[in-house]
Structure 1
Amino acid sequence: MEKQGVHGPKPRFLVGNILDMASLVTKSTSEDMDSINHDIVGRLLPHLVAWSKLYGKRFIFWNGIEPRMCLTETELIKELLLKHSTVSGKSWLQQQGSKHFIGRGLLMANGNDWYHQRHIVAPAFMGDKLKSYAGYMVDCTKEMLESLQNAVVSGQTEFEIGQYMSRLTADIISRTEFDTSCDKGKQIFHLLTVLQHLCAQASRHLCLPGSRFFPSKYNRDIKSLKMEVERLLMEIIQSRKDCVEVGRASSYGNDLLGMLLNEMQKKRGSGFGLNLQLIMDECKTFFFAGHETTALLLTWTVMLLASNPSWQDKVRDEVNRVCNGAAPSVDHLSKLTLLNMVINESLRLYPPASVLPRMAFEDYKLGDLHIPKGLSIWIPVLAIHHNEEIWGKDVNEFNPDRFASKSSAPGRHFIPFAAGPRNCVGQAFAMMEAKIILAMLISRFSFIISDNYRHAPVIVLTIKPKYGVQICLKPLSP
């Protein structure tokens, strides 16, 4: 890479640049921000800002023994995501970092495994199957709104909305994934959340080969949590199989788990069979990808609407006009254009995934660069979404109008769900869920940001508000 003019900070033996990154991030996030300010790239990716000033738009850094090239040139990013998806994917280090809580599900699969898993999973998020989830979303949201209403009646005015959104999206994914077994699904979700935090701790430290075998308390905790999650999943799977075997049911069910089990039955005769471990890994992946990111999208959007009352009023007027007091249906959603613009602007300012990583599995040409096998390319989504050259002088301001036209030039550099063949399979599910929840919330309540809210975004695998988002709710008359 040096021969091609790509340089970077000097790595240390074994640890690479991990310590430099950790110290820069610790320093930049040690204090809260003075006000609600969306200029957060320097806070969350300080190493990227410092190194791009020194080495340019592309530079190499080392995560332990793994070389990574940071790439911010949008034309090359587009080429990478659209053309080279078959020769790039998730690295061994990434798979190790997340194997305990999502295993080798679709998110971490590569090559033929990824191709087959994608074809099995994709139909669950398309057409009529996708529309069938809207009822679950409306019912779960009604329950949450009732609990908020009851709390307001009893005298509570301030709410940490992130907790409510997290519980709500967990309820929805439990219902769509496990339907009748959703109570067990909620237990699984709780355990996976604990596992994720443990795995996130490890991702900030050096991963030495063989360290996962050390009999440390950390490794023991992870192993016992993983075993408990898989025990609960196996109980659900086994009860479905028993029902089919004794003839009480003709299929494994219409939810996501049932669909996977039905596919496994179909594929038995073909070369690619889904095993039970893979089904459990897919279930865990749905939980992580379908719950966490949507909860954060909703939390940040509520924060933005609470601190921009004029946009809140515009969206409320649109929802009232389109839905006319009824719960939003699938047919209503395409007409909620202002709400769609607000959600996109929230995804631009606070994309749940701050970076997109892709490792090269063989040598290939990317623009003017020769990419050698084994090099990881890191696309800093957050930095691209906050790039003044692309989005203009108001790049760090909340301005949904920038998404008013679908053909707007900056929109081509908008990649919260990635792009190309490996884009997010649940993108339509997440957007439908976000629109239904926000439309129902905004038609029942007006809300402002609380004086107790402290703006302090941090990265724990995803971009989160460090202390949650406190808002003051006021019920609207029906």
Structure 2
Amino acid sequence: MVLPTGASSYAASVPWSLLAYGLLGLALLRQAGRLLHRMWWRPRRLERALRAQGLRGRPHSLLAGDLRENARLNREAWSRPLPLGCHDIAPRVAPFLCGVVREHGRRACLCWFGPVPRVIVADPGLARDVLSNKFGHLEKPSFPALTRLLAEGVAGLEGEKWVRHRRILKPAFHLEKLKSMLPAFSACCEELVGRWAESAGADGWCELDVWPELQNLTGDVISRTAFGSSYLEGRRIFQLQAEQGERLVATIQKIIIPGYLYLPTKNNRRMHEINDEVTSLLRGLIEKRMQAMKEGEIGGKDDLLGLLLESNMRHTDEHGPSSLRMSTEDVVEECKLFYFAGMETTSVLLTWTMVLLSMHPEWQDRAREEVLGLFGRNKLEYDGLTQLKTVTMILHEVLRLYPPFIAISRKTHKEVEIGGVTYPAGVVVDLPVLLIHHDPDIWGSDVHEFRPDRFAEGVSRAPPAFFPFGWGPRTCIGQNFALLEAKMALSMILQRFEFELAPSYTHAPHTVITLQPMHGAQIKLRAI
């Protein structure tokens, strides 16, 4: 029998088609198996290991874990503002967290971020053990797709690369270097208070939402101190990073969906556009500065970028091959982090400080008396800023009651024992800074009162449960920068204005990465 023309080739091709479909089916089964392992079998195994040691908490549920319940409780709590003067903010800011700790205890209790087990540790002694990482098996939780869009700087690094970056960055944040940045701090603050004074009416009063005003201030400060003469280019980066933060917050609950940030949604496309523009602007600034330094130009070494690049070159000279230095991409990511951490932390600290001093005018008067006693109406100098005892106490008490970041997280990458419980690899340990700062067993029955004199003898003599900038080897490297900037800004405001809450102000703290006023911070100011 003779086959029709082409039939033999068709017959030969059939097995290959079947093989291709078979391989595709196997690949799909493999991916389905990985997904099932990630979303069900692995969480169940970790849950059994933790519960076998007596940990109590919420049971694992497929896919979302406790995200839906957390979102539901947030919506309910955030719909109701707090009474003016109420500083018992934890039940409103973090109702899910409060409920889990109240029901299952502060030492260690279990909840779920999608398929990831999270153990809440609200005991300050255990929190210090975790932050000191004396066990050596804890690291920052990683969301690579997320951090690539915001900042992959030293705060998210681990191991030898973290050690190297921290060592290179540290000289730029030395107090002696920060002194040289005071003129930039002062110039930005002078622009702010001058603009506010011009807004005053015939009676000397004006009403402002100080929250965006203070965001712009700290964005200007970080732009000037990071890039010096390239301040205007830096300001554009600040604006883009601020938009990026808002867009990422809107996406945060969807990141448990594998590959979600790579889907071509309108929001995702815009975030990638922002990241590309920020990276391009920063790379241009960095390469221009590096070329100038190679040609022997010495200007601009007192800004953060100049100090960072100088330290990077010195590190290479002292420690060997160029492979150990930061690459241009590394410097780009550190600059992104300058913006996010430097702008957000100080702006929320200053905003809540103005709100609380409006609620407690007796402390506002004491702080103003101190500032005027040291400086009068003159320019502020570094030595005087270091003598501001009352202002410093106030800032610390605001950081206690309204910490910029309400929780700190670490993840086990190897089995580790904490407080008598052995945690397998893959468990996130959450340290609820807000709950620790508001714990009456630690701070006393007046824990929710605004009492700056708790810090009259300094942070070292206060209860060892104060973590606004973290603790241990990973304490925020920009802590001194943030506090010096806050002292400068607050002191210049106190020199020029007295202030009180506007009738339109609603006391509604909530979290958008940092702890922010949901409806703004409307303040009435009177020039003095």
TM score, norm. by length of structure 1? 0.95
**Distance 1:408-1:293 versus aligned 2 partners, 3 A rule:** closer
**Separation (CA, whole Å) in 2 of partners of 1:127 and 1:398:** 29
Tell me if structure 1 keeps the 8 A contact 2:77–2:91. Answer: yes
Query: Deviation at 1:160?
Result: 1.0
Which residue does 1:63 correspond to in 2?
Answer: 113
Q: Which secondary structure does the structure 1 equivalent of 2:56 belong to?
A: coil
**Separation (CA, whole Å) in 2 of partners of 1:22 and 1:98:** 22
The percentage of counterpart residues that share the same residue type is: 33
Tell me if structure 1 keeps the 8 A contact 2:372–2:495. Answer: yes
Query: Deviation at 1:252?
Result: 7.0
1:2 aligns with 2:54: no
Name which of 403, 406, 426 aligns with 1:351: 403
Query: Deviation at 1:206?
Result: 4.4
* Equivalences for residues 441-460 of structure 1 within 5 A: 441-460=493-512
Q: Where does structure 1 differ by over 6 angstroms across 4 or more consecutive aligned residues? A: none
Tell me if structure 2 keeps the 8 A contact 1:141–1:168. Answer: yes
Which residue does 1:36 correspond to in 2?
Answer: 85
Q: Which secondary structure does the structure 1 equivalent of 2:468 belong to?
A: coil
Query: Deviation at 1:467?
Result: 1.4
Tell me if structure 1 keeps the 8 A contact 2:142–2:156. Answer: no
Bigger drift between 357-366 and 448-457 goes to 357-366
1:105 aligns with 2:153: yes
Tell me if structure 2 keeps the 8 A contact 1:68–1:378. Answer: yes
1:130 aligns with 2:178: yes
Question: Which residues of structure 1 form unaligned runs of 5+?
Answer: none
* Equivalences for residues 214-229 of structure 1 within 5 A: 214-229=263-278
Q: Which secondary structure does the structure 1 equivalent of 2:220 belong to?
A: helix
Larger Rg: 2
Which residue does 1:394 correspond to in 2?
Answer: 446
**Separation (CA, whole Å) in 1 of partners of 2:324 and 2:252:** 32
**Separation (CA, whole Å) in 2 of partners of 1:85 and 1:159:** 49
Bigger drift between 284-293 and 408-417 goes to 408-417
Tell me if structure 2 keeps the 8 A contact 1:322–1:332. Answer: yes
Q: Deviations over 1:252-276 (max 9, x none)?
A: 7332112233344442725423111
Tell me if structure 1 keeps the 8 A contact 2:67–2:112. Answer: yes
**Distance 1:84-1:99 versus aligned 2 partners, 3 A rule:** farther
1:27 aligns with 2:76: yes
Tell me if structure 2 keeps the 8 A contact 1:85–1:420. Answer: no
Aligned length: 473
Bigger drift between 398-407 and 452-461 goes to 398-407
**Separation (CA, whole Å) in 1 of partners of 2:260 and 2:198:** 50
Query: Deviation at 1:113?
Result: 1.5
Tell me if structure 1 keeps the 8 A contact 2:393–2:453. Answer: yes
Q: Deviations over 1:114-169 (max 9, x none)?
A: 11111111111113112111121112111111111111157761011112211111
* Equivalences for residues 364-443 of structure 1 within 5 A: 364-406=416-458, 410-443=462-495
* Equivalences for residues 327-338 of structure 1 within 5 A: 327-338=379-390
Which residue does 1:183 correspond to in 2?
Answer: 232
1:323 aligns with 2:382: no
Q: Which secondary structure does the structure 2 equivalent of 1:38 belong to?
A: coil
Tell me if structure 2 keeps the 8 A contact 1:390–1:410. Answer: no
Tell me if structure 2 keeps the 8 A contact 1:241–1:252. Answer: no
* Equivalences for residues 241-256 of structure 1 within 5 A: 241-245=290-294, 247=295, 249-250=297-298, 253-256=301-304
**Separation (CA, whole Å) in 2 of partners of 1:11 and 1:381:** 24
Which residue does 2:37 correspond to in 1?
Answer: none
1:276 aligns with 2:328: yes
* Equivalences for residues 70-89 of structure 1 within 5 A: 70-84=120-134, 86-89=136-139
Q: Which secondary structure does the structure 2 equivalent of 1:185 belong to?
A: helix
Name which of 348, 353, 362 aligns with 1:296: 348
TM score, norm. by length of structure 2? 0.86
Q: Deviations over 1:57-107 (max 9, x none)?
A: 2111111121111001111111111243743222223x44332011x2011
State the superposition RMSD in angstroms: 1.8
1:258 aligns with 2:306: yes
**Distance 1:252-1:318 versus aligned 2 partners, 3 A rule:** closer
**Separation (CA, whole Å) in 2 of partners of 1:415 and 1:474:** 35
Q: Which secondary structure does the structure 1 equivalent of 2:404 belong to?
A: coil
* Equivalences for residues 192-203 of structure 1 within 5 A: 192-203=241-252
**Separation (CA, whole Å) in 1 of partners of 2:302 and 2:386:** 26
**Distance 1:431-1:450 versus aligned 2 partners, 3 A rule:** same
1:237 aligns with 2:286: yes
Query: Deviation at 1:33?
Result: 2.1
Tell me if structure 2 keeps the 8 A contact 1:356–1:379. Answer: yes
Q: Which secondary structure does the structure 2 equivalent of 1:412 belong to?
A: coil
